[in-house]
Structure 1
Amino acid sequence: MHFNLADLFEAVADAVPEREAIVCGSSRSRYRDLDQGANRIAHYLKQQGVKSGDHVGLYMYNCMEYMEAMLACFKIRAVPINVNYRYVKDELLYIFNNADMVACVHHREFIPHIDEVRSAAPQLNTFISVDDDSGEDLSKISAVDYQAAQQDQSNERDFEERSEDDYFILYTGGTTGMPKGVMWPHKNVFFAAMGGGGHFSPNGACEKPEDIVDRVTEHPMCGIALAPLMHGASWWFACIQLLAGNKLVLNHNRSLKGEQVWQIVADEKVNAVQIVGDAMAIPLLDALDANPDRWDLSSVFNIGSGGAIFSDAKQAAFIKHFPNAFITNSFGSSEGGQMGMDNGSRRNQTGLGNVERNDYMDVIIDEEGQPRRHAELGETGIFARSGYIPKGYYNDPEKTAKTFVEVDGKTWLLTGDAAKLEEDNTITVYGRGSNCINSGGEKIFPEEVEDALKAHDGIFDALVVGVPDERWGSRVSAIIQARDGASLTLDSVQDHCRNHIAGYKVPREIHLIGEVPRAPSGKPDYKTAKAYAESGEGRVG
């Protein structure tokens, strides 16, 4: 047995075969069912010539088949590739070409999109289609129905021995450029993003693979992942739940509507609700405000966020609705895993969060023309991680060289987040350094200003960018989505912000927009926001 995700899952499935593993809409699966379903798809993939190290695309909405197919890849040492179902043609062309896929498991409605870009992946010749009532023609890409592929396949685990160095590749969109495929060895992602199996056990992280069974508790917890499984934060949460023998609930709806989510939470008696920042928090909170006492949500004892900004204002709002629950706010990245967490009590602190400096977490100074070095106390540089980190970006040596660097004989991942090494030897993380606004020599991090804006009762969502300024170089510009009926002026927004942030960080202009631009995962689209601000559209005096 190895620190391989298939090995670990199989051990848990053998320990609690009759426990409910996944619920997604009307589909329900026990651990034994999930394991055997994955075995059957794994055998079909092998039958089609998929071998160890081959890449298999997963191009689906949330569904039971997503998790079965991912586990099937792990079982035969193939590499699952997450495909964002909202990608348009150019992005799909890039990922189908860059990822070197040989097979693809997809919802049936995506057949026309696949047909349009399949020429970019000459090795791609196996298509397994999950039915969705779309009626798309399977023969168009010579696809086989998912259930038909499973039929007559073996339930047995007669697979070759696996390795902790087998890969999972997570494609991440980031804020600029085309998607990047982050190459995670199984052991590294298990410890960096999944707590090494120790989230629910007093025994902490596993010391050897066999320990995973001892981390399974007698009373399983029920957790819901609200983001699409194509998003790293949701996939990690799903694995954390399954490797703990817990019950995983998936949001089967194609969009996030607060009323639908809370009905699922009530029906399934969910204990932990996992979101991705404010983009998900806002509709959930609005539904609670509009429907007092509509649902029995007494089972909920944790609201957790990861993968995007979870503002103090939204954390405080959840506490009002769930006074006995605890709030967790994780920060990290597709490349860094989980790099820190607070418990909703960091009121009035600067930055996204604060972590202890150690041998694997530090601040690196990376100045042009100078050797990279570790920061001295009081210096601001780039938040960095070593130890359990990815091996680089797939098919992109240039980005790999810029992001995975050697300092004093050790490889460090530069996360891109600006961070300060405090005098007490802790690290304050501020956010994406590339979005930092330099106004008159002062550095302003958009996330801090956004946090202040979202505490305004009339603001639904907001992004902050820097726009050119003749005197100051850049000035702070806020793109704001107002709540229905709210009347916002520049003066009123500025007065509000001055109660939360220093005067030089206060927006000098605001632009109203119908919907703040964000990726499907909830991550901010700063490029579109900046173009909108520079165009002058929606500007309010």
Structure 2
Amino acid sequence: MSGQHSLVWQGIAAADPDRTAVVGADGRTWSYGQLTREAAGLARALEDHGVRPGDRLAILLYNRPEFLIAVYACLATGIIPAPLNYRIRSADLAQLLADSQAAALVAPDSLGEIVDGALDLLASPPVLIRVDDGPGRPAERAATDSAPGSRADLTWEDAVDRDGLLPPSPPEDAELWIYTGGTTGRPKAARWVASDLFASQLFSTYTVLGLEPPGDVAGAVAAAMDARTPHVITLPLAPFIHGTALTVSLSTLILGGTVLTTDSPRLDAEAAVRLAAESGATRLVVAGDAVALPVLDAAERLGVRLGHVTSVYSSGMRFSPETKRRFHDQGEVSIVDLLATTEGGGFAVTQTRGADDLPGHPRLFPTAVVLDEGLNEVQDRVGALGILASHGALPRGYHGDELKTAETFPVIRGKRHVVPGDWVRVLEDRHIEFLGRGSSVVNTGGEKVYPQEVEEALLSHPSVLDAVVVGLPDARFGEIVAAAVAVQDTTPAADILDHAASRLAGYKKPRHVMVRPLLDRSPQGKLNLAQLRQDMTLDRETQGRTP
């Protein structure tokens, strides 16, 4: 099948148009019929503004219904949806728009200043489709401007309120781009073909529910209509810009379920708990302890039990056994903790159905393998060490980076693999122990932070002579960004933190800075990072954890 997502959604809309698909933060609902009509209207608006199949639609939105409608319109028509991180500055946004060569951009008025600043930096800015989510853009900048050579903006309401018709079948090569940091610090778009992305989701869509994956679109629609298929109501508490929150939400709609949206750039744990309880959410999508802990704490404060929740999904973040136990204590909750990457989908899963299953170990997917240094498969050799790889459904590669594509997606013994660089130890029955990432990337709260960028911000302070950035373990965020700096005077750490924060996105700024006269580099410029991490951990404990 090609373009399965949109075809299944259209099939559900035809079979049961009044079924609830999406619920907004304000309580407004979108049926499958309305979702399809608005996707068709948006597709028509994009066509009217010269956006063609293969062009990119950049999506700069929080978890809003418009996000899902935009993805729907794109997958159905062959326009490429490219979600972008909304936690960035104008200059970063301009770079991403240029990198993706976006023909159009969907963005909220609350980010109007950042968006306008980015578009002003581009020689050929994309068409802007503005979502009214409250104040944020001066009225004079919000007006539609259709003069020759100027930017042609339109409102979301104008876009979706058009007569449109989705094609009966999407292009064979319809794609979805998911931006990832890669390993160099420059964001890269992993180019997923829609049919391959669908194939990579079969486990999380059907198998975890005990369902047999259907063989075609008609079977998928029939499964969604089948009364024996559980009605899934998903509340993504991680942002859609994270692959798992988006793909699990798309899977929910494949099942004919309902997606709840929060419309917030930050986690409001108490609001999330109330929404889950009032809307009967059966599935939560979290980002490990960073999201799960505040939600569980809020539920305790409010005296609310998440009684309807039967499953919790997470990936890419530390999800501790202690936190999982608290979810299991809520009732019969199945926890699906995925070891996954943007570039390769799922590699392994730790699934626990009760406290007795804890702590659990990840179990390899059928398409995942472990490779030793000679690139030999050792996933069946208990005790072996190796790097994780997969030869299942894979992206085409990175947009605009053939060298990195060849490096990350090597052909091994005639079969294309993805090798993200994660080291594991093989346990019994295809279980593994995750040992760590093969790069210096700091994964904090699900966001990848690259030390070089943070080090450059620190070194721009006139008193800083040297700097090194590492990740330190953190109970909530998995890791925090921490820095050791050498200064030439008595500048306090707080001043250095403020200086760096003014030059970095919020999630990139160091949470702790250790100040020293020098960093004890070797004559070759090397640092003893193990000792430095130990010193920084002790310094953090002595000074108190920076919030």
> What range describes the TM-score normalised by the shorter chain of this pair?
0.7 to 0.9
Deviation (angstroms), 1:42? 0.5
Which one-letter code corresponds to 2:81 in the other structure? P
> Which of the numbers 369, 392, 405 marks the counterpart of 1:400?
405
Separation in 1 of the partners of 2:277 and 2:177?
Answer: 34
CA contact (8 A) 2:3 2:76 kept: no
Indicate which of 314, 339, 343 corresponds to 2:351.
343
Shift in Å, 1:341: 1.9
**Alignment root-mean-square deviation, CA:** 3.6
In the other structure, the counterpart of 1:45 is 46
Asked if 1:277 is matched to 2:288, the reply is: yes
* Residue in structure 1 matched with residue 542 of structure 2 by the alignment: 540
What's the counterpart of residue 323 of structure 2? 314
The DSSP-based 3-state class of the residue aligned with 1:223 is: strand
Structure 1 match to 2:523: none
Which residue of 1 is the match for residue 392 of structure 2? 387
Distance 1:135 1:94, change over 3 A: closer
Letter in 1 for 2:286: I
**Structure 1: gaps spanning 5 or more residues:** 437-445, 451-462, 466-475, 484-513, 518-522
Shift of 1:176: 5.6
Deviations 1:233-268 (A, max 9, x none): 111011011111011111233321221111101111
2:62, 2:86 within 8 Å by CA — same for their partners in 1? yes
Aligned to 2:377: 374
> Percent identity of the aligned residues?
23
Residues 36-435 of structure 1: pairs in structure 2 closer than 5 A: 36-118=37-119, 122-134=123-135, 136=137, 137-139=141-143, 142-151=152-161, 153-157=162-166, 159=167, 161-173=169-181, 177-195=185-203, 197-199=205-207, 202-216=210-224, 217-218=226-227, 220-292=231-303, 295=304, 297-320=306-329, 322-344=330-352, 347-348=358-359, 353-355=362-364, 358=366, 360-366=367-373, 372-375=375-378, 377=381, 378-422=383-427, 426-435=431-440
Determine helix, strand or coil for the equivalent of 1:37.
helix
Residue range with higher mean Cα deviation, 76-85 or 417-426: 417-426
- CA drift of 1:25 comes to 1.2
1:10 and 1:200 mapped to 2: Cα distance? Answer: 24
Question: 1:355 deviation in Å?
Answer: 2.2
* TM-score of the aligned structures, taking structure 1 as reference length: 0.76
Question: 2:63 is paired with a residue of what secondary structure?
Answer: coil
- Once residues 398 and 202 of structure 1 are traced to their aligned partners in structure 2, the CA distance between those partners, rounded to angstroms, is 40
Amino acid at match of 2:61: M
Q: CA deviation at 1:274?
A: 1.6
Q: Give the TM-score normalised by the residue count of structure 2.
A: 0.76
The one-letter code of the counterpart of 2:173 is D
Give CA-to-partner distance per residue, 1:378-402, whole Å, 9 cap, x none: 4312100012111111111121121
Q: What's the CA shift string for 1:461-504, capped at 9, x where partnerless?
A: xx9x9xxxxxxxxxx99555799xxxxxxxxxxxxxxxxxxxxx
Q: Which amino acid aligns with 2:279?
A: E
Asked if structure 2 preserves the Cα contact closer than 8 Å seen for 1:353 and 1:430, the reply is no
- 8 Å contact kept, 2:234–2:285: yes
- Equivalents in 2 of 1:45, 1:477: separation in Å? 42
Tell me, yes or no, if the aligned pair for 1:91 and 1:178 is still in contact at 8 Å: no
d(CA) in 2 for partners of 1:131, 1:265? 25
Amino acid at match of 2:235: I
Q: 1:146 deviation in Å?
A: 0.9
**Which amino acid is the alignment partner of residue 126 of structure 1?**
V
Mapping for residues 2-17 of structure 1, pairs under 5 Å: 2-17=2-17
Shift of 1:194: 4.7
1:23 corresponds to: 23
Deviation at 1:154, TM superposition (A): 1.1
**Counterparts of 1:477 and 1:235 in 2: how far apart (Å)?**
26
**Distance in 1 between the 2:359 and 2:112 partners?**
50
CA deviation profile, 1:345-372 (whole Å, cap 9, x unmatched): 55356xx62326x5x2111235xxxx64
User: Residue 204 of structure 1: CA displacement?
Assistant: 1.4
